[in-house]
Amino acid sequence: MNWTRESIAAMAASRGFDKLAPEHLDRWLALAQRQPSTLPLREAVERKQDEPAYGPRAFAPATVPPQESAAENYRGVFNNRLGFGRRPAVIAIDFVRSYTTPGAPFYAEGVVRAVAQTQVLFAQARRLGVPILHTRPIYHPSGRDGGLFVQKVPALRAMVRGEPLAEFDPAVAPLSDEIVFEKAYPSSFFGTALAPTLTAQGIDTVIIVGCSTSGCVRATAVDALQYGFRPIVARECVGDRHPGPHEAALFDIDAKYGDVENLATISIYLETVQSSATA
């Protein structure tokens, strides 16, 4: 008998199997074609009981284990807390108009929302005397100082001195006595004097706000940890272009590199730590 996919499907149905997947039909067909033509396929399959790929067990419904959540998978390994230190500072990352102006290359509604929440944090920090340090991306018109980063993200070439979109959003602009670091790469620490500036002031905790969550915020959190500062990301005060990368970055930071805290928790900490400092 010359077996075909159709005849095998019919035979399998007569034996009580549901509709077979194409790869299962191909396995049975290959098996039948290797056996003597006088040997029924039933016997050929039964002689292959020790080979699940060819025998009836190949067509049993697969048992799919329940998918564990990322939080469950990380629990017990990546769920430690760093906690707050004794002397905080706020690092405000790249709150420039390119992120908050509709139609601009980097515009993100998530950043607009973060700006609104950050105004509250700034007001409290300034009232309590907590230092606020700002960063913004600035490049030479040639873009050469941006190296491969500008090659990877060509829209950064527009971030040059004098470009309105490279200026700070007025709602969260630095005050005249607040330090601004200009940077060319994602981390606020890379190629800047941020780390020694914090160290000289005895800072041990950095409250991180700004954009974007999956880029410069994450990079700054990683470097803050590596420089020995406690990175605390204010959840409501960071933003990104899309919720997916935003939430993934927050999850990653909170699991491995710092603590992601609600603004309310950070507010209570700032009031408490500054009260203790002046007591």
The mean of the pLDDT values for the chain is: 87
Separation CA 279–CA 277 (nearest Å): 6
Query: Cα separation of 196 and 225, whole Å?
Result: 14
Least confident span in 76-85, 119-128, 240-249: 76-85
Cβ within 8 Å of residue 119, ≥6 positions away? 171, 172
Measured over the CA atoms of residue 16, residue 22, residue 23 and residue 27, the dihedral's sign is positive
Q: Residue 195 pLDDT more than 70?
A: yes
Summarised one tens digit per residue, pLDDT across range 6-54 is 777 777 666 666 566 777 767 767 766 665 444 455 554 444 443 444 4
- In this prediction, residue 56 carries a pLDDT of 47
In sequence order, what are the beta bridge partners of 181? 135
182 phi, psi to nearest 5 deg: -95, 130
Kindly name the residue from 125, 195, 216, 233 that is annotated as catalytic: 216
Bridge partners of residue 210, in order along the sequence: 93, 238
Residue 58 is predicted with a pLDDT of: 47
**What is the pLDDT, as a whole number, of residue 70?**
82
Start-to-end CA span in the chain (Å): 96
Residues above pLDDT 70, as percent of the chain: 80
Give residue limits of the domains in the chain.
Answer: 5-59, 88-278
Helix, strand, coil percentages, rounded to 5, for the chain: 50, 15, 40
- Residues in a beta bridge with 234: 261
- Report the percent of the chain where pLDDT is more than 90: 69
- Per-residue pLDDT, 22: 72
For domain 88-278, the CATH architecture is: 3-Layer(aba) Sandwich (3.40)
**How confident is the model over 128-176, as pLDDT tens digits?**
999 999 999 999 999 999 999 999 999 999 999 999 999 999 999 999 9
Please answer whether residues 92 and 130 qualify as being in contact, where contact means their C-beta atoms are separated by less than 8 angstroms.
no
Q: Is 216 a catalytic residue?
A: yes
Output the CA–CA distances (angstroms, integers) from residue 166 to 6, 55, 152, 183, 227, in the order listed: 66, 67, 19, 12, 28
Instruction: Note the pLDDT of residue 54.
Output: 45
- Distance, CA of 8 to CA of 31 (rounded, Å): 11
Nearest by Cα to 175 from 147, 134, 222: 134
Q: CB–CB of 220/93 below 8 Å?
A: yes
Find, among 164, 179, 196, 97, the residue nearest to 134 by Cα: 179
Report the range of poorest mean pLDDT among 60-64, 114-118, 125-129, 197-201: 60-64
User: How confident is the model over 48-71, as a mean pLDDT?
Assistant: 56
Write the single-letter amino acid at 179: I
Angle at 246 between CA 241 and CA 252, to 5 degrees: 155
As a whole number of angstroms, the distance between CA 56 and CA 102 comes to: 60
Q: Are 201 and 131 in contact (CB under 8 A)?
A: yes
pLDDT in tens, 212-267: 999 999 999 999 999 999 999 999 999 999 999 999 999 999 999 999 999 999 99
Phi, then psi, of 46 in degrees rounded to 5: -65, -30
Split at pLDDT 50, 70, 90, the class of 271 is very high
Q: How much is the average pLDDT of 74-96?
A: 93
Strand ranges across the sheet with 88-93 = 180-183, 132-137, 88-93, 205-211, 230-239, 259-261
The pLDDT score that the predictor gives to residue 236 is 98
Give the pLDDT score at 120. Answer: 97
Angle at 273 between CA 271 and CA 278, to 5 degrees: 95
